[in-house]
Structure 1
Amino acid sequence: MKIALLLFLLAPVLVFAHGGGLDEQGGHFNRKTNRYECHKEPCFSIHKQSKEAYQQATPGTFSRIYNRKDWPHWIDADGDCQNTRQELLIATSKVPVQFKDYRRCTVRQGKWYGVYTGRTFYRASDLDIDHIVPLAHAHRHGADQWTKAQRRKFANDYENLLVVDDSTNQAKSDQAPHEWLPPQKNYWCEYGKRWERVKDKYGLRYSDQERIALNSLAETCLY
């Protein structure tokens, strides 16, 4: 856990492109490397503070370890045998879905547009349900103090869920916008907007690096 957090803190920051020059933080997005680069203050200081925060952390800082089993997800809230995943697949398919059997509990086929990649999918088995704000990220930014009921609500909140292809979801993992963005660049603005909406809804903390990325995105997208 401690090693993973170190990699998280030291990871290069991604921020969204501007039409030339440096942003107000003293950095810019390099399209050739797909990385955010610092050139002046306060960008350097923000990164330094993140490293120092890790170095000064006590063992107690890492005592609440994330466990996905603590987050009840894909529940059948209305008792119709279709859990959160199946309900979302049904709601977002562009055509009437086909089920695996007569019980109509599990979706087998449909037609889904993947906003992260721009690709269309027909088999439910090729799809994951992505938490826009990942469960592990939420845990690190305040949700470690939540009750089980609060975690269940967050894990099944449709406002925080998207149907995406499984490989892209795995590539994203639990990364924040300064670490990962959808391959489909024309979805970046909507992604940033939904990320902030969910974090604000649940009162989750923002890291400095995360806030830099989202502020730069807001300036670019004008939403």
Structure 2
Amino acid sequence: MGGRGTRAVAAVSAAAAVLTGALAGCGPMDDIGLGQSGAADGGVGKGAALGVSPLKNPDGTGPGLAPITTSGDRAEARKLIDKVRTKGRGPKTGYSRDKFGYAWADSVDGVPWGRNGCDTRNDMLKRDGRKIEYREGSNCVVISMTIYDPYTGKTLDWTKQHAAKVQIDHLVPLSYSWQMGSSRWSESKRKQIANDPLNLLPVDGSTNASKGDAGPATWLPPQRSIRCSYAVRFAQVSLKYDLPVTTADKDAMLEQCT
């Protein structure tokens, strides 16, 4: 066959390969973060390195936390934050972590991945991690991975032997929620906010420890580009659970998206 015919066959073959790959789920859509539904790199797509915008992830099942950058999205963010109620911060009297159920319990109703046979911490590592390795014989217990921390902008290599290097942050801290009204909730509702993917983010351990139970007026992620997204996620949790924030915290949240 002549050179022109060979090139024509090659072009047709390449086009067919692209079409086959796309139909098989191997095309450009694989670059979108897919949460636990997806890819061979540990349950998320390649684009999950920076995560998903909270505006496009209202239930928290998408990975990570991507920056909100456009003026239109920032306007949408401010409208959402504006809906959050405000009140004064109450006392911490009576608070304990146990009031929100056993830490990372799977036996929680009404939240994504509740009662799926895998505890909440491992669910979050699976959602946001990449290059995940599991304990032998398990598809739940993560023993190593890499993960992008939106709070610092660093990619962390993590192993279970050094578990505290990555901690799961409650964006709305449980103690904060207690002081803002969850002290009067049912136990089942407190277990929900403690295990809801919307309120959970795996991050650098030392950075999370520095946050304590602070609201956005007194603590924000070190990486400035993520602060509007952090404020939006804080607002999403507050609205879902009808939980007010302080006036100072709401002002700080709005400022991050200005």
Q: Same fold (TM over 0.5)?
A: yes
Amino acid at match of 2:120: T
Give the Cα–Cα distance (whole angstroms) in 2 for the partners of residues 142 and 169 of structure 1: 23
Pairing 1:1-223 to 2, within 5 Å after superposition: 62=91, 64-72=93-101, 73-76=103-106, 77-80=114-117, 82-95=118-131, 97-124=132-159, 125=163, 126-218=165-257, 220=258
Give the Cα–Cα distance (whole angstroms) in 1 for the partners of residues 202 and 187 of structure 2: 24
Partner-residue secondary structure (3-state), 1:177:
coil
TM-score, normalised by the number of residues in structure 2: 0.58
Shift in Å, 1:205 = 1.7
Give the Cα–Cα distance (whole angstroms) in 1 for the partners of residues 150 and 92 of structure 2: 36
Shift in Å, 1:158 = 0.3
**Identical residues among aligned pairs (%):** 32
Shift in Å, 1:184 = 0.7
Partner of 2:43: none
Moved over 6 A (4+): none
- Greater Cα offset, 190-199 or 98-107: 98-107
Give the Cα–Cα distance (whole angstroms) in 1 for the partners of residues 91 and 223 of structure 2: 35
Give the Cα–Cα distance (whole angstroms) in 1 for the partners of residues 92 and 192 of structure 2: 24
Give the Cα–Cα distance (whole angstroms) in 2 for the partners of residues 78 and 63 of structure 1: 30
Q: Is this contact kept in 1: 2:92–2:178, CA < 8 A? A: no
Q: Is this contact kept in 2: 1:189–1:217, CA < 8 A? A: yes
The structure number with the bigger radius of gyration is: 2
Q: Which runs of 5+ in 2 are unaligned?
A: 1-86, 107-113
Amino acid at match of 2:128: T
Identify if the C-alpha distance between structure 1 residues 163 and 207 changes in structure 2 by more than 3 Å, giving closer, same or farther. Answer: same
Q: Is this contact kept in 2: 1:64–1:144, CA < 8 A? A: no
* Cα RMSD, aligned residues only: 2.1
Q: Could you say which structure has the greater relative contact order, defined with CA pairs below 8 angstroms and 6 or more residues apart?
A: 2
TM-score, normalised by the number of residues in structure 1: 0.66
Q: Is this contact kept in 1: 2:150–2:226, CA < 8 A? A: yes
Give the Cα–Cα distance (whole angstroms) in 2 for the partners of residues 63 and 212 of structure 1: 23
Aligned residues: 160
Partner-residue secondary structure (3-state), 1:112:
strand
Shift in Å, 1:105 = 4.0
Partner-residue secondary structure (3-state), 1:164:
strand
Give the Cα–Cα distance (whole angstroms) in 2 for the partners of residues 216 and 149 of structure 1: 34
Partner-residue secondary structure (3-state), 2:130:
coil
- Greater Cα offset, 121-130 or 107-116: 121-130
Amino acid at match of 2:130: K
